[in-house]
Amino acid sequence: MKKLLLSGFMAIAMVVGVNAQKSGYDPVKAPFGHGEDSVNCRLNLSLMQTSAKAEAYDSALKPWMDVYENCPASSKNIYIYGPRIFKALYGTATDAAKKKEYLDKTLEIYDTRLKYFGEDDARGTILAYKVYDYMELMGEKTDQSVVYQWLGEAINEMKGNMSPLDAYSYYMVASLSQYLNDNSKKDQYLKDYFTVVGYVDLAIAQAKSANDQANADYLGMVKDGIVKGFVNSGAGDCKTLTEYYADQVEPNKANKEFLNEVINALGSVGCSETDLYFTASEYLYHLEPSAGAAIGLANKSLRDKDYETALKYYEQAAELETDKSKASDYMMQLAGIFSNQRNFAKAREAANDALNYNPANGEAYILIAQLYASSANNIFSEPEKAGLVYLAAVDKLQKARAVDPSVAAKANSLINRYSAAFMDTETAFMMGFKAGESVFIPGWIGENTTIRLR
């Protein structure tokens, strides 16, 4: 008990005291001090580190206090172990005033670290660690305006190089929280959203270029969370974003970065068929053809029922897209358009193009199967042979579930339905077909399949 009381008294003295460095201390030329001071500094550093590593924070407190006060530039470990010591004291304290003192000291340590070791780690990283400790100690009482201010400084300084990576998420949670509590801050939240998503996109690109797929994937999850929060916030509906950007597109028609922001923002809330979206896409396409701009012009062409031009832009979008999955999706959109027009051959061609970009796109195989089934009664002159077309459709469905397990349930459902339309044994016998034989499906399908009977 005496030891605990002594530790507590020393902690309080440390918290309320001021740095009382000895006269003549030079943090640059003599970070450990001179003579006996240097010996004491090294000894206390060793004692502090040994105790802190063993999580014996009561024992680590006194030597930590000594080095923090007398040789604060001697070791970065002072600032690594210091927060751990005071967080432990915070956790055991029952008096509100003491808890606040320990909290304040924990945060102060990060400020001192910036003073003496600000060149070792990025300022934004140290600020983020400070925020994390603040949130850990405050829990449900965390003031999101504090998080917003400190992380805002960090992220706006580090942009696409922020570390730790989840700082982007915490910052946007704080920004969203302020908007939800005060709707007059909508414009600020919108600005924060577009700025941070841009930084995350940059960070993802940098991770990929460095072959760091793990961080690229993690950042992708961070971005997904930010986007979901934005979409669900109510701040980012089509009407609001259109009004927000309406007067900004024309003055920025030569600003590629801004036009990309507009297209991505409107697209993220399903607002990709508005005049503003088309205008921004056209400006961007003429400045620098990109997948996003090409898709915008494709959508405009569809609205105008100019299908030939739409086809051209969809194909260009897929070619310009660096993400093969997205390129595949673009071709699937085109395939869907042709399917609705009952141009089955063109729809299959687009679906096959989608598979060229992403061989694991099960939806492409499913669409082709549905195209085959839709034309089953028009391939052969004899209606009894329609069941043969369903064989080819089921072939595609089996391929779909083989390459893409996520579509297995949908594929199985269609397999059950189409299999019921296979030629029956009696009809097959009458027409000279045998199970297991190869048969050619003519017309626009033009494929061989193996006969199965029901």
- Average pLDDT for residues 355-373, to the nearest whole number? 96
- Average pLDDT for residues 224-251, to the nearest whole number? 86
Q: Is residue 327 in some structural domain? A: no
pLDDT above 90 (res 260): no
- Note the pLDDT of residue 21: 54
pLDDT above 60 (res 129): yes
Q: Is residue 247 in some structural domain? A: yes
252 and 221 belong to one structural domain: no
pLDDT above 90 (res 236): no
259 and 156 belong to one structural domain: no
- Note the pLDDT of residue 238: 86
Residue finishing a domain among 195, 213, 236? 236
Q: Is residue 87 in some structural domain? A: yes
247 and 227 belong to one structural domain: no
Q: Is residue 335 in some structural domain? A: no
3 and 106 belong to one structural domain: yes
Q: Is residue 105 in some structural domain? A: yes
Q: Is residue 328 in some structural domain? A: no
50 and 62 belong to one structural domain: yes
Q: Is residue 66 in some structural domain? A: yes
Residue finishing a domain among 192, 210, 236? 236
275 and 184 belong to one structural domain: no
In SS3 terms, the chain reads as CHHHHHHHHHHHHHHHCCCCCCCCCECCCECCCCHHHHHHHHHHHHHHHHHHHCCCHHHHHHHHHHHHHHCCCCCCHHHHHHHHHHHHHHHHCCCHHHHHHHHHHHHHHHHHHHHHHCCCCCHHHHHHHHHHHHHHHHHHHCCHHHHHHHHHHHHHHHHHHCCCCCHHHHHHHHHHHHHHHCHHHHHHHHHHHHHHHHHHHHHHHHHHHCCCHHHHHHHHHHHHHHHHHHHHHCCCCHHHHHHHHCCCCHHHCCCHHHHHHHHHHHHHCCCCCCHHHHHHHHHHHHHCCCHHHHHHHHHHHHHCCCHHHHHHHHHHHHHHCCCHHHHHHHHHHHHHHHHHCCCHHHHHHHHHHHHHHCCCCHHHHHHHHHHHHHCHHHHCCCHHHHHHHHHHHHHHHHHHHHHCHHHHHHHHHHHHHHHCCCCCHHHHHHHCCCCCCEEEECCCCCEEEECCCC
270 and 228 belong to one structural domain: no
Q: How many domains is the chain partitioned into structurally?
A: 4
8 and 100 belong to one structural domain: yes
- Note the pLDDT of residue 23: 62
* Tens-digit pLDDT profile for residues 147-178: 999 999 999 999 999 999 999 999 999 999 99
* Tens-digit pLDDT profile for residues 306-347: 888 888 889 999 999 988 998 999 999 999 988 988 999 999
- Note the pLDDT of residue 3: 39
348 and 432 belong to one structural domain: yes
- Average pLDDT for residues 283-294, to the nearest whole number? 88
CATH number for the domain including 298? 1.25.40
231 and 276 belong to one structural domain: no
pLDDT above 70 (res 15): no
pLDDT above 70 (res 126): yes
pLDDT bin (cut points 50, 70, 90) of residue 22 is low
Which domain, by its residues, includes 109? 1-17+26-120
Least confident of 12-26, 65-79, 94-108, 377-391: 12-26
227 and 158 belong to one structural domain: yes
Residue finishing a domain among 171, 205, 236? 236
pLDDT above 90 (res 265): no
Stated pTM of the model: 0.58
74 and 169 belong to one structural domain: no
pLDDT above 50 (res 398): yes
% of the chain residues with pLDDT over 70: 95
pLDDT bin (cut points 50, 70, 90) of residue 7 is very low
pLDDT bin (cut points 50, 70, 90) of residue 291 is confident
Per-chain mean pLDDT for the chain: 89
Q: Is residue 165 in some structural domain? A: yes
- Note the pLDDT of residue 249: 93
- Average pLDDT for residues 242-250, to the nearest whole number? 89
